[in-house]
Amino acid sequence: MSVQEVLPLGGVATGQSGDFRADHRLVAEMVKPGSKVLDVGCGEGDLLQLLENRGIDGRGIELSREGVNRCVAKGLAVVQGDADTDLVNYPDDAFDYVILSQTLQATRQPRVVLENLLRIGRRAIVSFPNFGFWKMRLQLLIGGHMPRTENLPATWYDTANIHFCTIKDFVELCDEINVKMERSVALDLYGRPVPLNLPWWVWNMFGEQAVFLLSRGSGK
Amino acid sequence: MGDVKSIPSPAISADERSHEVDHPSSQIAHFGAEQPLRLDCGVDLTPFQIAYQTYGELNADRSNAVLICHALTGDQHVANVHPVTGKPGWWETLVGPGRPIDPKHYFIICSNVIGGCMGSTGPASINPATGKVWGLEFPVITIPDMVRAQAMLIDRLGIDTLFAVVGGSMGGMQVLQWTAAYPGRVFSALAIACATRHSAQNIAFHELGRQAVMADPDWRGGGYADQGIHPHRGLAVARMAAHITYLSDAALHRKFGRRMQDRELPTFSFDADFQVESYLRYQGSSFVERFDANSYLYLTRAMDYFDIAADHGGVLAKAYADIKTRFCVVSFTSDWLFPTSESRALVHALNASSARVSFAEIETDRGHDAFLLDVPEFLDISRAFLQSAGKARGLKDG
């Protein structure tokens, strides 16, 4: 992976304004209207709600019973399930997009999950917190303890997040399993995209989180 | 068993009950020789009738009809005082003014199933060919037969597409059958505490109940009705056994524990010393007042035979290929009759068919019966699901 392969991203809303999270708005903009979407680990359905508002046919899977029940109560089509074990039950090409928003780091087998995403969906959108973010590095380097941030407040011993990675790590995984990166965006501490003309290491350093639009590679 | 002292005789005479069997105090749809009901067993049932209740008004474009499917021992009196027991409707938590299924918004229909004993043709009805009660001469019916009859009723009411089909337990099986058999006629489906097939354990419990009925000397080979008697002891035992499966250990323990009934010390007899015994005996005896023993045999059998996948080459997803119906599947954590795993299998199949499906498991210790009780989380989800489906259907205030 090199930065040249990253296609330009146009018209992304910046900052934290509005009712929806910056990364959710970014994800929603990557989805073509009228398509069919599966949101894996959809939480309380905020992203699904945003997608439905845009006329996108959205479905969700969520592990927590409370999350599912809140989604259903919002009228969203969400089922209780586990990304690690339940994705195998979905047929090939069932969706136009499969979204994994801030969930990759909580899966037991990120690689298998990623492969499943691109089997079920023609495209996948993956967002995750970047463990290469400068604040994370600083907490480990200077503070000498496992990093905690506003978005990831849990301590190391009671976190559901078991597979952290950096933007660089993720890009390497995509290369390894022959996944094509159609678009990629790093968002800084304020939810603003890190400028594209900056070198790749800057993304890895200053992106607090990253969002990738992926599609199946051309074959190994 | 068989001690008259321990299980009281029914308070209502066989005559009074049999009046509701053929002349129910609800609406009736008659189907004559020109419209036979083609049963899965190969018999054409004709003539026959369906007893049903409606609540609310059908809107101008006939798009707000909700069909409620009742469970094994339910009937059409879903949200009104029951004519035999004088008790409130069996689903007043879900159906009624201010409830998730409100007659203000929906035209609500609930029919007594074929094979029942509250006005729809069943084994307790008079066989027009002989002038005697059908009894075991009545053909064996299935869940698809019940649904086929309901579809004829819905046709008769001039409704093309139902806004929603809703049911729990055996009613949930009917919901699943409706969507498999008439996918284009069901806009949304709420299937609660049910499965696409009856499990071996559930068939075993039903067999226990049937054997209890048939072991009662008053059953008389199923011909009791013409002799003016009713095998109420056997039926009460069947109901007691079934009732245990509707609850959970936790619910029974919370409700009764090992507390004694009206006494401090055991009597060292087989009287109902424990509250739980006395409760079960009451459940059994009140049930026989309103239910026909042969009907119990037929309806349990219908559930046993139910297996949607088997009707579709063993592949459940095929039953729902390309279905447009919006589904909501609900299970309860302490339901051991229809455990969550059964609902999950259904949801996987619906996902594979790329159906629009929601699935929620409700945390409760109240067992299978939870769907009939005031469980706020369940009622909230039902309301939200129907409201969102109503929005998609273009219903006002749905």
Task: Calculate the CA dihedral of residues A41, A47, A53, A54 and round it to 10 degrees.
Answer: -90
- Whether the per-residue pLDDT at B118 is higher than 70: the answer is yes
Residues of A with CB under 8 A from a CB of B: 36, 57, 59, 65, 68-69, 71-81, 86, 89-91, 94-95
Specify the pLDDT at position A23: 86
Name the residue facing B360 among A36, A68, A95 (closest C-beta). A68
Name the residue facing A73 among B348, B361, B384 (closest C-beta). B384
Domain B16-198+308-393 has CATH 3.40.50.1820: yes
Specify the pLDDT at position A6: 37
Name the residue facing B351 among A69, A76, A89 (closest C-beta). A89
Do A101 and A24 form a contact (C-beta atoms < 8 A)?
yes
CB atoms closer than 10 angstroms to residue B335: 28
Consecutive H or E run containing A85: helix A83-86
- What residue segments make up the domains of chain B, in order of their start? 16-198+308-393
What average pLDDT score do residues A77-102 get? 90
Catalytic, out of B335, B343, B353, B382: B335
Residue B239 is labelled as binding a ligand: yes
Measured between CA atoms, the residue of chain B closest to residue A68 is B360
pLDDT tens digits, B72-111: 999 999 999 999 889 999 999 999 999 999 999 999 999 9
DSSP A31-59: SPTT-EEEEET-TTSHHHHHHHHTT-EEE
pLDDT tens digits, B347-377: 989 988 889 999 999 999 999 999 999 999 9
The pair of structure tokens assigned to B258 is 């090992």
Within 8 A of B359 by CB-CB distance, chain A residues are 68, 72, 78-80
**Residue B368 annotated in active site:** yes
Burial of B46 (0-12, 13-18, 19+ CB in 10 A): middle
- Whether the per-residue pLDDT at A36 is higher than 90: the answer is yes
- Put simply, the answer to whether B358 touches A77 (Cβ < 8 Å) is yes
pLDDT tens digits, A90-125: 889 989 999 999 889 889 999 999 999 999 999 999
Measured between CA atoms, the residue of chain B closest to residue A85 is B348
Chain A: nearest CA to B166, how far in angstroms?
16
Catalytic, out of B120, B125, B169, B343: B169
Burial of B277 (0-12, 13-18, 19+ CB in 10 A): middle
What are φ and ψ of residue B220, in 5° steps?
50, 50
B99 touches chain A (CB under 8 A): no
Residue B156 is labelled as binding a ligand: no
Interface test with B, best of A89, A92, A93, A122 (most B CBs within 10 A): A89
Measured between CA atoms, the residue of chain A closest to residue B326 is A77
Name the residue facing B359 among A74, A79, A91 (closest C-beta). A79
Specify the pLDDT at position B386: 95
Do A146 and A156 form a contact (C-beta atoms < 8 A)?
yes
Catalytic, out of B77, B105, B232, B368: B368
B354 touches chain A (CB under 8 A): yes
Measured between CA atoms, the residue of chain A closest to residue B348 is A89
Do B370 and B334 form a contact (C-beta atoms < 8 A)?
yes
Report the C-alpha gap between B101 and B106 in whole angstroms: 7
Distance linking the first and last C-alpha atoms of chain B:
51
Of A24-28, B13-17, B248-252, the least confident:
B13-17
- Put simply, the answer to whether B351 touches A68 (Cβ < 8 Å) is no
User: Rounded to whole angstroms, what are the CA distances from A145 to A138, A139, A142, A206, B332?
Assistant: 10, 6, 8, 20, 42
- Whether the per-residue pLDDT at B396 is higher than 90: the answer is no
**Residue B26 annotated in active site:** no
B381 touches chain A (CB under 8 A): yes
- Put simply, the answer to whether B351 touches A74 (Cβ < 8 Å) is no
Within 8 A of B385 by CB-CB distance, chain A residues are 72, 75
- Put simply, the answer to whether B384 touches A94 (Cβ < 8 Å) is no
Categorize the per-residue pLDDT at A4 as very low, low, confident or very high, splitting at 50, 70 and 90: very low
B388 touches chain A (CB under 8 A): yes
Chain B: nearest CA to A143, how far in angstroms?
42
DSSP conformation class of A165: B
What average pLDDT score do residues B121-142 get? 96
What average pLDDT score do residues B334-352 get? 93
The pair of structure tokens assigned to B67 is 């069909």
Helices B170-181 and B293-305, packing angle to 10 deg: 50
Q: What ipTM did this prediction achieve?
A: 0.77
Between chain A and chain B, how many beta carbons pairs sit less than 8 Å apart?
66
- Put simply, the answer to whether B351 touches A79 (Cβ < 8 Å) is yes
**Residue B230 annotated in active site:** no
Specify the pLDDT at position B28: 97
B280 touches chain A (CB under 8 A): no
Helices B232-246 and B293-305, packing angle to 10 deg: 40
The pair of structure tokens assigned to B141 is 């019916």
pLDDT tens digits, B8-67: 444 455 566 668 898 999 999 999 999 999 999 999 999 999 999 999 999 999 999 999
pLDDT tens digits, B286-304: 999 899 999 999 999 999 9
Report the C-alpha gap between B376 and B380 in whole angstroms: 6
Burial of B80 (0-12, 13-18, 19+ CB in 10 A): middle
DSSP B199-258: -HHHHHHHHHHHHHHHHSGGGGGGTTGGGT---HHHHHHHHHHHHHHHS-HHHHHHHTTT
